[in-house]
Structure 1
């Protein structure tokens, strides 16, 4: 663990000593009342202590202690532990000793409808919002993820409190992530790091199976991997098709420039392979140092997430506070769970219950600044071509509330760590898996 010291040039600001103690004890049990935590702009408890010279101490507009790097970027905000782990809230069944189970809901059965799958651009719907011209059509929400504003950190429980040893290796954590992914409780991108998405997946798995999973028991995890398809890592030979693409040089930020591309394709073989194997691209490169991914015949190490989850989903629950989506079967049992980015303060997600109206695979995206959000200086309607790096990724599940949907993302490593423009944003592979288990008419309940 790195040591931390205040910069001599920075005006001293008193920090509670236990702030850094709890940053170092990231996966200990809930801290006592009156203690504090360091929370990143993405809502995660800081799992390291910055090195000398890396950060300065300051105050934000609300008077809270913050850490900023040398470029002025926010690293972490000091908040009371009780605001991150509230003692009160709706009653939940205990899944682990001292851990609140977020999956205890009243079950209900939804009526099954016929499939309505679209494989082209996202179909338009009639405008229902007052104040727009009659010739305008509601378009799906999309766009880049929104970072959690430092002054509006959520006061909700956003992760179960699961004690994990600090000395787990990257490969041991990778094994845990791969096992959870195989079981249909997505940990998000596989990156060899513990975090909220992994913790929530553990609790979801326990709810589905009724068993207890100890993330510290590496031997047990390895045995479970053996029973579900083998080791977490495997060798993969890059094919000529992998190397050929098609790829684009880069994805511009401006939507007008996106609209000029032939497709919102991957930008490299490495990016494509990372998504294929549910990995963080940086972690794929770490596992294969010095490898040129453009050469066919090259053998690389990748994770083995196994087969996609199968089943018939009749009800979906999107928990805004937990930033997680739960898929239930007709019998009311939890089938799968996915980390998600759900809405923001400026563009909140709906409340209550809606239904899935259409399923669009590999959708194009129509940007309308009068209906959607404002992107850059764009004032005209733009047609953005399909592709995994498009604003809604590879899947669009249109909801009965116009402009809202469940969709993929071009930035899977940000899922569960950022906010969206009101929609439910999943990784492309999780969105695709869910799309194959739902039909038009499936209910989607938003929990505030």
Structure 2
């Protein structure tokens, strides 16, 4: 669905050329995520900088609308910045640099004119409307306990809330989802909400090699001709469980895996914890998929905490968001080369 520029948004943008009252300033801040403004950002310089669209330049600090649109377009191109949150940071800079490398643009990680031109090859709106279905709100939704023993007693580890389910489906943080939809009832079928336009993209072609960079905190996927075709932010080990550098292979792929918890393999296991079989589900400790590596006990997997990816350490494995690992397993299989590097 297209979003024409509303009179309110136009007035707020025009008012930004002169000093604002506190009330109008608050209104303008709320309008920065208006779908029509986000969908126009980065087109012919519109919304690319920190000033108003009429005054912005590609060299200026990107505005929130431009950051959000870039995150969505990068996600659609399989160069993910992880959870879409409308904020600049290391994950976004790495995603832009990976996209630039793939498009043969100088990889400086900035939203410069050449990068916007390449992103704009995808004419899709970044934000669209979605009507909630009965299946979206039906659940069941239930709290997820922290303790492994308590998790093991559950039939499955589904979503804790409809907001979490929608956030994962549309690759968006729950806080941004709520900011995009003030006053909306996410539990009501028929409610129309604004979401990132991340569904219906082309699946990844066959992958030939996975390269995980500990320093960059990224996982890059190359096709069989050696061209980079995707990049995802990742969490890659810790001082206690360092990333096992070297060349390995994929042994196999498991969707919706159960997790066999062995406290002996975790340095931070609590005293008295026992082995446990943790049921499948998006809130399983390894998320929705496990890519088993030829290095024993190591794999590439999802996570129930997408906001942590690229920002926290792991227990040695390579963690991705659930949606990124779901995209990856459609491209790789037994025998795919895996390079883990500094």
Partner of 2:170: 277
Partner of 2:256: 362
Partner of 1:303: 196
Partner of 1:140: none
CA distance in 2, matches of 1:185, 1:402: 29
Give the direction of change, closer, same or farther, for the CA distance of 1:443–1:378 in structure 2 (3 Å limit).
farther
CA distance in 1, matches of 2:321, 2:104: 26
Instruction: Tell me if structure 1 keeps the 8 A contact 2:301–2:319.
Output: yes
Is 1:254–2:150 an aligned residue pair? Answer: no
Unaligned segments of structure 1, at least 5 residues: 1-162
Instruction: Tell me if structure 2 keeps the 8 A contact 1:405–1:424.
Output: yes
Deviation at residue 314 of structure 1 after TM alignment: 1.3
Give the direction of change, closer, same or farther, for the CA distance of 1:247–1:229 in structure 2 (3 Å limit).
farther
Deviation at residue 329 of structure 1 after TM alignment: 1.2
Which of 310, 313, 329 lines up with 1:435 in the alignment?
A: 329
Deviation at residue 290 of structure 1 after TM alignment: 2.3
CA distance in 2, matches of 1:381, 1:359: 23
Deviation at residue 301 of structure 1 after TM alignment: 0.5
The equivalences for 1:66-85 within 5 A come to: none
Partner of 1:314: 208
Give the direction of change, closer, same or farther, for the CA distance of 1:229–1:244 in structure 2 (3 Å limit).
farther
Which of 101, 107, 111 lines up with 1:215 in the alignment?
A: 111
Partner of 2:81: 187
Pair member with larger Rg: 1
Instruction: Tell me if structure 1 keeps the 8 A contact 2:203–2:330.
Output: no
Is 1:446–2:340 an aligned residue pair? Answer: yes
Which deviations, in whole Å up to 9, do the C-alpha atoms of 1:147-183 show, x marking residues without a partner? xxxxxxxxxxxxxxxx9633x3322111111111111
Deviation at residue 275 of structure 1 after TM alignment: 0.8
Is 1:201–2:86 an aligned residue pair? Answer: no
The equivalences for 1:229-244 within 5 A come to: 229-244=123-138
The equivalences for 1:93-112 within 5 A come to: none
Give the direction of change, closer, same or farther, for the CA distance of 1:263–1:164 in structure 2 (3 Å limit).
farther
Which deviations, in whole Å up to 9, do the C-alpha atoms of 1:42-95 show, x marking residues without a partner? xxxxxxxxxxxxxxxxxxxxxxxxxxxxxxxxxxxxxxxxxxxxxxxxxxxxxx
Which deviations, in whole Å up to 9, do the C-alpha atoms of 1:92-134 show, x marking residues without a partner? xxxxxxxxxxxxxxxxxxxxxxxxxxxxxxxxxxxxxxxxxxx
Unaligned segments of structure 2, at least 5 residues: 1-57
Deviation at residue 349 of structure 1 after TM alignment: 1.6
My pick for the range that moved more, 298-307 or 427-436, is 298-307
Which of 315, 329, 332 lines up with 2:226 in the alignment?
A: 332
CA distance in 2, matches of 1:253, 1:214: 39
More helix by share: 2
Aligned-pair Cα RMSD in Å: 2.0
CA distance in 2, matches of 1:216, 1:288: 30
CA distance in 2, matches of 1:372, 1:344: 12
Give the direction of change, closer, same or farther, for the CA distance of 1:380–1:214 in structure 2 (3 Å limit).
closer
Is 1:289–2:185 an aligned residue pair? Answer: no
CA distance in 2, matches of 1:430, 1:179: 15
Please, what TM-score do these two structures have when normalized by structure 1?
Answer: 0.60
CA distance in 2, matches of 1:415, 1:429: 12
The equivalences for 1:53-64 within 5 A come to: none
Deviation at residue 229 of structure 1 after TM alignment: 4.8
Partner SS for 1:354: strand
CA distance in 2, matches of 1:308, 1:440: 22
Partner SS for 1:295: coil
Instruction: Tell me if structure 2 keeps the 8 A contact 1:256–1:378.
Output: no
Partner of 1:165: 60
